[in-house]
A and B are shown apart, each in its own frame.
Chain A
Amino acid sequence: MGNHTKRDKAWTKNDKIFLGILIPVLALFFFFNTLPLLKGFYYGLTNYRGYGDYDFVGLRNFKDIFTDLRVGKSYLFTFKYAVVMTIAVNLISLILALGLNREIRGKSALRGIYFVPNILGGLVVGYIFSFIFTYILPTVGEITGIGFLQNSMLASTKTAWLAIVIVGAWQGIAMNTIIYISGLQTVPAEVYEAGMIDGVSGWKKFWNLTFPLILPFFTINLVLCMKNALMVFDQIMSLTKGGPSQSTESISYLIYQNGMSGGQFGFQSANAFVFFLVIVIISFLQMKFLGGKEEQL
Chain B
Amino acid sequence: MKKKNREGAVGGKAINNVINVLLALGCLTILFPLYMTVIIAFKKPSEMTNDVAGALGFPANWNFDNFIEAMRVTDFWRSLGNSLFLTGVTVIICILLHSLAGYVIGRKMAKHKLFKASYFYIVSGMFVPFAVLMMPLVKQTAQIGMANRLGVIVLYVVFFMPMNVLLYSGYLKNIPIALEEAACVDGATVWQTYWKIIFPNMKPMHATVAVLTAMSTWNDVMTPLVIMSGSDVNTLPLAQLNFQSQFGTNYNLAFASYLLALLPILIFYIICQKQIINGVVNGAVK
Residue of A nearest to B211 (CB): A119
List B contacts of A265 (CB < 8 A).
135
Query: Which residues B89-105 have CB closer than 8 A to chain A?
Result: 97, 100-101, 104-105
Residue A81 at the B interface, CB < 8 A? no
Query: With A29-B161, A259-B134, A275-B131 known to touch, is A234 a contact of B104 (CB < 8 Å)?
Result: no
CB < 8 Å: which of A104, A114, A170, A237 contacts B241? A237
CB < 8 Å: which of B127, B128, B219 contacts A122? B219
Q: Judging by beta carbons under 8 Å apart, are B19 and A99 in contact?
A: yes
A60 shortest CB reach to chain B, Å: 18
Query: Which residues A100-132 have CB closer than 8 A to chain B?
Result: 100, 102-106, 110-125, 127-129, 131-132
B5 shortest CB reach to chain A, Å: 6
Residue B121 at the A interface, CB < 8 A? yes
Residue B179 at the A interface, CB < 8 A? no
CB < 8 Å: which of A21, A103, A139, A179 contacts B50? A139
Q: In the bound complex, what is the Cα–Cα distance between A201 and B254 (angstroms)?
A: 51
CB < 8 Å: which of B30, B108, B241 contacts A116? B30
Q: Judging by beta carbons under 8 Å apart, are A189 and B30 in contact?
A: no
Residue of B nearest to A38 (CB): B136
Q: Judging by beta carbons under 8 Å apart, are A121 and B158 in contact?
A: no
Q: Judging by beta carbons under 8 Å apart, are A272 and B134 in contact?
A: yes
Interface string of B12-48 (1 = CB under 8 A from A): 1000100110111011011101101100100000000
CB < 8 Å: which of B26, B159, B184, B280 contacts A175? B280
Q: Judging by beta carbons under 8 Å apart, are A124 and B137 in contact?
A: no
Q: Judging by beta carbons under 8 Å apart, are A36 and B140 in contact?
A: yes
Residue B2 at the A interface, CB < 8 A? yes
Q: Judging by beta carbons under 8 Å apart, are B131 and A113 in contact?
A: no
Residue B248 at the A interface, CB < 8 A? no
Residue B233 at the A interface, CB < 8 A? no
Residue B65 at the A interface, CB < 8 A? no
Residue B118 at the A interface, CB < 8 A? yes
B84 shortest CB reach to chain A, Å: 14
Residue A283 at the B interface, CB < 8 A? yes
Q: In the bound complex, what is the Cα–Cα distance between A121 and B265 (angstroms)?
A: 9
Q: In the bound complex, what is the Cα–Cα distance between A115 and B56 (angstroms)?
A: 24
CB < 8 Å: which of B8, B127, B155, B241 contacts A280? B127
Interface string of B158-172 (1 = CB under 8 A from A): 110100000000000
Q: In the bound complex, what is the Cα–Cα distance between A103 and B236 (angstroms)?
A: 40
Q: Judging by beta carbons under 8 Å apart, are A132 and B137 in contact?
A: no
List B contacts of A37 (CB < 8 A).
128, 132-133, 136
Q: Judging by beta carbons under 8 Å apart, are A22 and B128 in contact?
A: no
Q: In the bound complex, what is the Cα–Cα distance between A41 and B108 (angstroms)?
A: 33
Q: Judging by beta carbons under 8 Å apart, are A192 and B6 in contact?
A: yes
List B contacts of A255 (CB < 8 A).
131-132, 134-135
Q: Judging by beta carbons under 8 Å apart, are A178 and B281 in contact?
A: yes
Q: In the bound complex, what is the Cα–Cα distance between A125 and B34 (angstroms)?
A: 9
The size of the chain B interface, using a CB distance under 8 A, is: 93
Q: In the bound complex, what is the Cα–Cα distance between A280 and B133 (angstroms)?
A: 14
Query: With A18-B190, A128-B33 known to touch, is A32 a contact of B280 (CB < 8 Å)?
Result: no
Residue of B nearest to A189 (CB): B2
Query: With A40-B136, A104-B16, A131-B36 known to touch, is A124 a contact of B31 (CB < 8 Å)?
Result: no
List A contacts of B50 (CB < 8 A).
139
Q: Judging by beta carbons under 8 Å apart, are B55 and A18 in contact?
A: no
Residue of A nearest to B20 (CB): A104
A273 shortest CB reach to chain B, Å: 7
Q: Judging by beta carbons under 8 Å apart, are A103 and B132 in contact?
A: no
Q: Judging by beta carbons under 8 Å apart, are A251 and B52 in contact?
A: no
Interface string of A211-237 (1 = CB under 8 A from B): 000000100100010000011011001
Query: Which residues B45-67 have CB closer than 8 A to chain A?
Result: 50-52, 55-56
Q: Judging by beta carbons under 8 Å apart, are A32 and B241 in contact?
A: no
Q: Judging by beta carbons under 8 Å apart, are B134 and A32 in contact?
A: no
Residue of A nearest to B258 (CB): A124
Q: Judging by beta carbons under 8 Å apart, are B135 and A40 in contact?
A: yes
Q: Judging by beta carbons under 8 Å apart, are B3 and A103 in contact?
A: yes
List A contacts of B218 (CB < 8 A).
121
Query: With A103-B16, A124-B261, A128-B36 known to touch, is A192 a contact of B5 (CB < 8 Å)?
Result: yes
Query: With A115-B277, A283-B127 known to touch, is A237 a contact of B132 (CB < 8 Å)?
Result: no
- 24 A-B Cβ contacts within 8 A? A1-B110, A11-B112, A15-B108, A18-B104, A22-B114, A28-B154, A32-B137, A32-B154, A36-B136, A50-B135, A96-B23, A102-B19, A104-B20, A111-B277, A116-B266, A119-B276, A121-B237, A122-B221, A131-B255, A179-B285, A224-B284, A231-B129, A272-B134, A276-B129
B contact set with A: CB distance below 8 Å? 2-3, 5-8, 12, 16, 19-20, 22-24, 26-27, 29-31, 33-34, 36-37, 40, 50-52, 55-56, 97, 100-101, 104-105, 107-108, 110-112, 114-115, 118, 121-122, 125, 127-140, 154-155, 157-159, 161, 184, 190, 215, 218-219, 221-222, 226, 236-237, 240-241, 244, 251, 254-255, 258, 261-262, 265-266, 269, 273, 276-277, 280-281, 284-285
**Apart from A32-B137, A35-B136, A136-B52, what 13 extra A-B contacts exist at CB < 8 Å?**
A15-B112, A29-B121, A33-B128, A33-B159, A35-B140, A39-B136, A103-B3, A106-B24, A132-B36, A178-B277, A269-B135, A272-B135, A276-B129
